[in-house]
Amino acid sequence: MPRRTTRVIGATGVSRRTAAKATAAAGLAVLFGATTGTTRARAATRLGPRTLDLAVPSAALGRSAPVRLILPSGFDTAAGRTYPVLYLLHGAHDDYTSWTRETDIESFTEGRDLIVAMPDAGPTGIPTAWRDGLDYETFQVEEVPALLARDYRASGVRAVAGVSTGGYGAMAHAARHPGAFTAAASYSGVLDTTAPGVPTIVDAIVAREGLSPASLWGNPFLNLLTWRDFNPRARAEGLRGTALYVSQGSGLAGGIGDWLPEALESALWPSARGFAAALARRGIPATTHFYPGGGHDWAYWKGEFTASWPILADALGVPE
């Protein structure tokens, strides 16, 4: 496995022709298949000794939205103790249950004194302020933390990590709200929304859910300033002082033949490399892992989460 580094050095190793082909294929892949601070959550649904689902009334969304929680092992017997929170964000065409469905996050955090929060981001998994009025950014960054602080003894120490569009959310939230998170990790995230080919992918993700692409940030050309405002790369300066982990596979270049997820991974490779390079130019440290092959899939993201854990744990103040 290639060494993880804190800077981006050298060429990407993916030709423009390969990237262009991957972008076109990825567009098809995503199209065809690859509360307010004073409102309390409704009664929690217990799924296990530590895991529960909440329905959180949200002014930002105009409705209640689900959040899955994993509480610390000693939560019920340590009244008065507060805990740091790890936010885990899901990807496109998935939901808040993905991390417990696809990973062993429940057993992994057993005995560790932290809360794990997995908020929903809607069917597209893009946790942002939409032009049509939905505001998943406020829901995840303000409303859910306020509820956790009030009802579940969450401290002000937070880290955020996500896969795919959730990786976008992790970096966008941390960049647009400097100091809100001590660490942010992205696994195959959409980290430069205006990079060549990426607006097409984003529009395809939105369209696949039967929504108008313009309902997100508008037209990527006519509303370029809006796209830039929500672009992690353009807001990179806001990440200064945040512990960062960025991973991305090259996909088709060195892949194993699973072409749909590999095509999408390849299409996002230049975006992730450009984002990391933007951090390096500003002198903002980041641990990066750019690996050959790979696909846009949990088979790779689970290992990347494990690799990033020491950074997240240190930022949260919990043992590795």
**47-76: burial string, b at 16+ Cβ within 10 Å, e else:** eeebbbbbbbbbbbbeebbbbbbbbbeebe
- The rounded radius of gyration (Å) of the Cα atoms in the chain is 19
- d(Cα 16, Cα 98) in Å, to the nearest integer? 33
Entry field: residues in the chain: 320
- pLDDT tens digit at each of 320 positions of the chain: 333 443 332 333 333 333 333 333 333 333 323 333 345 666 789 999 999 999 999 999 999 999 999 999 989 888 889 999 999 999 999 999 999 999 999 999 999 999 999 999 999 999 999 998 999 999 999 999 999 999 999 999 999 999 999 999 999 999 999 999 999 999 999 999 999 999 999 999 999 999 999 999 999 999 999 999 999 999 999 999 999 999 999 987 555 555 678 888 999 999 999 999 999 999 999 999 999 989 999 999 999 999 999 999 999 999 98
Contact criterion met (CB below 8 Å) for 96 and 127: no
The model carries a pTM of 0.87
pLDDT at 261: 80
Q: What's residue 253's pLDDT? A: 56
Residue 208 CB partners (closer than 8 Å, separation 6+)? 30, 31, 32, 93
* Structural contact between residues 154 and 87, judged by C-beta atoms closer than 8 angstroms: no
C-alpha dist (Å) from residue 113 to 85, 275, 308: 9, 32, 18
**Domain ranges, ordered by start, for the chain:** 44-316
CATH code of the domain occupying 44-316: 3.40.50.1820
Question: What does the pLDDT read at residue 283?
Answer: 98
Residue 161 corresponds to which tokens in the numbers above?
């990590």
